[in-house]
Chains A and B, each alone.
Chain A
């Protein structure tokens, strides 16, 4: 009796999972073969179930890892090329050293993790781990075509609200480090947080006003021409805000390594440092996905029948990576601003720019009579 009840339960679960699976015609025969094997079929169905596929594979955790490894490599390589150097190469000569970041990660993984005596040990190790919460949760709300985690009319505001939690954890890390450089870095981070967050939100609001909805599906649906042409001012404001938010070079003031020795992250070593240093990149990835949805038509792209549901996911992923590459280029061609210059710029120019973008959106609406 108990056995049959379990069997029925598994059947039910399998039925629920298979009803909402990612369909990829290219690997369909393989999936069909695997689905015939008991036990394995549950795992395959679970992984290919759309919400789990979205969070774990693309554009979720696996995509995030790939982006991290690629972006760190790309940033170093493009900086090297700008400086007339070769950049990372010898680790894999044929591919131009593309696995350099992986080697660095492996080295960090096997290095000692030092928790120094002055640190608040509990929070010191806890914050880097919890900070993955505001990184992974927004991913649930950012859809990619027919693959999505949670569908909501307020998806974009929710994602933004969760992303804006990240600096809180960074400040917490600086506090737990109990180091003067970490303290200075945390205070800088707090200053910058208030400086960029308001223009960023207003510019996003301008785009939401333009589309008259915060639902990503509707937004992508309504973009017959890309949003960047409709409201370039909002794009400019968001682009600069993203540079500040993710501590890219013209604004990498909280973690300026020549001044405050990585600021809040100064005391982290080993794999924990690898975790905390990837935070800005993860934030950049999330904000790029949002910008692609708002300005570059999201997952719209040429249909690829062979890939089925995977094609829109790939399109949004590729667009986001290209956007990130453009952002990464800023690192190699700009010098660092001072804190007061950045604050002055964001509280005057950037906030004006975002309000102007709001006016532009309102102007479009008035002109079109919506």
Chain B
């Protein structure tokens, strides 16, 4: 019996306390994922949780139960804790969905937190997402626990052996060994030439070559409407200016490929055009390689404003320092307590690491 239920069992008025609390569980819901849809369903006309006196509520101060719906990230964990501490005692927590148990779909992610490490959880409703019945079953189980003081599993699976003809036992299949964490010597080639996919592109390829002149190390067709250009880091900014002048007016995405065994990052800017009709359907990838230890790269925000947030995000995830971007040195999307550079390939997740062995 935990302290919340114990409080309800104490004193002369315990009967009234238990009765009142049992029939008046008002859950506030912390929607972080798709389980919120099923929660809405559980209180709509089909299942109607209000039959049980369970009234769905939006505020924390006036309620006594909290339904955590889905994955809790490091950022949301803080909010969960604040919400829980705002509620008046006695209070209970129900966790919906398999994400709240061990991470579910996001298992072993660098940003995942298990709700039961943050707040004392009473019941779990497993499923992805769980059905409304299973959520309502949690409420019933909570009501039973309030009356009896004993928490129980509401479901147990029978195990039985198949009878009849006994098959000849095969040798159990061995699970193939998981891929190694860092392959010995993979060749990471991001611009494989595939001229045959876009035979008419030769003309456009030559135009790009003319625009860039001697700044480009190579200009290759890598697919239909795809052209990759290799540029040295020192020429990158000038090349950006030239492309901007000739109509490439925005950055679609910025990527970084981590190649730890060669000690380098491959930085890719995918640029395209809205205004120049000739280049509207073209995706031009600018590729450059930088050192992995002293990872500095010229920021392109003076050329393309749309690169700003992408660069900041990559600074969060890889720790590449984009010189000239004002957002460097602080976190943009990830929570303050998330470990640094989580997408680098040599990043070690603090606990529960058994992907890839070692």
Question: Is A172 an interface residue when CB atoms closer than 8 A count as contact?
Answer: no
- Quick one: closest A residue to B16, CB to CB? A106
Query: Chain A residues with Cβ under 8 A from B24's Cβ?
Result: 100, 103-104, 106-107
Question: Which of A83, A103, A105 has the most chain B CB atoms inside 10 A of its CB?
Answer: A103
- Quick one: closest B residue to A110, CB to CB? B17
Number of interface residues of B (CB under 8 A): 28
Query: Chain A residues with Cβ under 8 A from B55's Cβ?
Result: 76
Q: How far apart are B291's CB and chain A's nearest CB, in angstroms?
A: 49
Question: Is A109 an interface residue when CB atoms closer than 8 A count as contact?
Answer: yes
- Quick one: closest B residue to A181, CB to CB? B59
Q: A111-B88, A262-B59 are in contact. List 4 more A-B contacts (CB 8 A).
A: A103-B53, A104-B20, A106-B24, A261-B58
| B59-A80 in contact (CB<8A) | no
Question: Is A15 an interface residue when CB atoms closer than 8 A count as contact?
Answer: no
Residues of B within 8 A of A (CB): 8, 13, 16-17, 19-24, 44-45, 48, 50-53, 55, 58-59, 61-62, 64, 86-90
Q: How far apart are B147's CB and chain A's nearest CB, in angstroms?
A: 13
Given contacts A106-B19, A110-B17, contact A88 B88 (CB under 8 A): no
A261 CA / B89 CA spacing, docked (Å): 20
Enumerate 17 A-B pairs (CB-CB under 8 Å) in ascending A order. A76-B55, A83-B45, A85-B44, A85-B45, A86-B48, A87-B51, A89-B51, A97-B53, A100-B23, A106-B20, A106-B24, A109-B20, A110-B8, A110-B17, A111-B90, A114-B88, A257-B58
Given contacts A103-B53, A270-B88, contact A90 B61 (CB under 8 A): no
Q: How far apart are B25's CB and chain A's nearest CB, in angstroms?
A: 8
Q: How far apart are A333's CB and chain B's nearest CB, in angstroms?
A: 16
A100 CA / B23 CA spacing, docked (Å): 8
| B88-A86 in contact (CB<8A) | no
Q: Which of A85, A105, A273 contacts B20 (CB 8 A)?
A: A105
| A90-B88 in contact (CB<8A) | no
A114 CA / B59 CA spacing, docked (Å): 14
| B61-A269 in contact (CB<8A) | yes
**0/1 interface trace, chain A 269-280, chain B, CB 8 Å (1 if under):** 110010000000
A97 CA / B8 CA spacing, docked (Å): 22
Query: Chain A residues with Cβ under 8 A from B20's Cβ?
Result: 103-110
| A87-B53 in contact (CB<8A) | no
Q: How far apart are B3's CB and chain A's nearest CB, in angstroms?
A: 13
Chain A contact surface mostly: loop
A97 CA / B19 CA spacing, docked (Å): 14
Q: Which residues in window 224-282 of A have CB below 8 A to B? A: 257-258, 261-262, 266-270, 273
Q: How far apart are A36's CB and chain B's nearest CB, in angstroms?
A: 35
Query: Chain B residues with Cβ under 8 A from A97's Cβ?
Result: 51, 53
A76 CA / B13 CA spacing, docked (Å): 27
Question: Is A10 an interface residue when CB atoms closer than 8 A count as contact?
Answer: no
- Quick one: closest A residue to B58, CB to CB? A257
Question: Is A112 an interface residue when CB atoms closer than 8 A count as contact?
Answer: yes
| A273-B50 in contact (CB<8A) | no
| B50-A76 in contact (CB<8A) | yes
Query: Chain B residues with Cβ under 8 A from A105's Cβ?
Result: 20
A71 CA / B52 CA spacing, docked (Å): 19
Question: Is A367 an interface residue when CB atoms closer than 8 A count as contact?
Answer: no
- Quick one: closest B residue to A106, CB to CB? B20
Query: Chain B residues with Cβ under 8 A from A109's Cβ?
Result: 20
Q: How far apart are A87's CB and chain B's nearest CB, in angstroms?
A: 6
Query: Chain A residues with Cβ under 8 A from B50's Cβ?
Result: 76, 80, 85-88
Query: Chain A residues with Cβ under 8 A from B86's Cβ?
Result: 114
Query: Chain B residues with Cβ under 8 A from A114's Cβ?
Result: 61, 86, 88
Q: How far apart are A302's CB and chain B's nearest CB, in angstroms?
A: 38
| A111-B64 in contact (CB<8A) | yes
Q: Which of A87, A257, A270 contacts B59 (CB 8 A)?
A: A257
Q: How far apart are A78's CB and chain B's nearest CB, in angstroms?
A: 12
Q: How far apart are B89's CB and chain A's nearest CB, in angstroms?
A: 4
Question: Is A161 an interface residue when CB atoms closer than 8 A count as contact?
Answer: no
Q: Across chains A and B, which 3 residue pairs bring their CB atoms closest together, nearest first?
A: A106-B20, A112-B88, A103-B23
Q: How far apart are B293's CB and chain A's nearest CB, in angstroms?
A: 48
Q: How far apart are A268's CB and chain B's nearest CB, in angstroms?
A: 7
| B61-A267 in contact (CB<8A) | yes
Question: Which of A97, A105, A109, A110 has the most chain B CB atoms inside 10 A of its CB?
Answer: A110
Question: Is A84 an interface residue when CB atoms closer than 8 A count as contact?
Answer: yes
A108 CA / B90 CA spacing, docked (Å): 10
- Quick one: closest A residue to B57, CB to CB? A257
A76 CA / B53 CA spacing, docked (Å): 11
Query: Chain B residues with Cβ under 8 A from A268's Cβ?
Result: 61-62
| B53-A84 in contact (CB<8A) | no
Question: Is A57 an interface residue when CB atoms closer than 8 A count as contact?
Answer: no
A85 CA / B55 CA spacing, docked (Å): 13
A203 CA / B45 CA spacing, docked (Å): 41
A91 CA / B62 CA spacing, docked (Å): 20
Q: How far apart are B4's CB and chain A's nearest CB, in angstroms?
A: 11
Q: How far apart are A310's CB and chain B's nearest CB, in angstroms?
A: 30
Given contacts A103-B53, A113-B88, contact A90 B48 (CB under 8 A): no
Q: How far apart are B41's CB and chain A's nearest CB, in angstroms?
A: 12
A76 CA / B24 CA spacing, docked (Å): 13
| B53-A85 in contact (CB<8A) | no
- Quick one: closest B residue to A99, CB to CB? B23
Given contacts A80-B50, A90-B23, A90-B52, contact A107 B62 (CB under 8 A): no
Query: Chain A residues with Cβ under 8 A from B58's Cβ?
Result: 257-258, 261
Q: How far apart are A185's CB and chain B's nearest CB, in angstroms?
A: 12
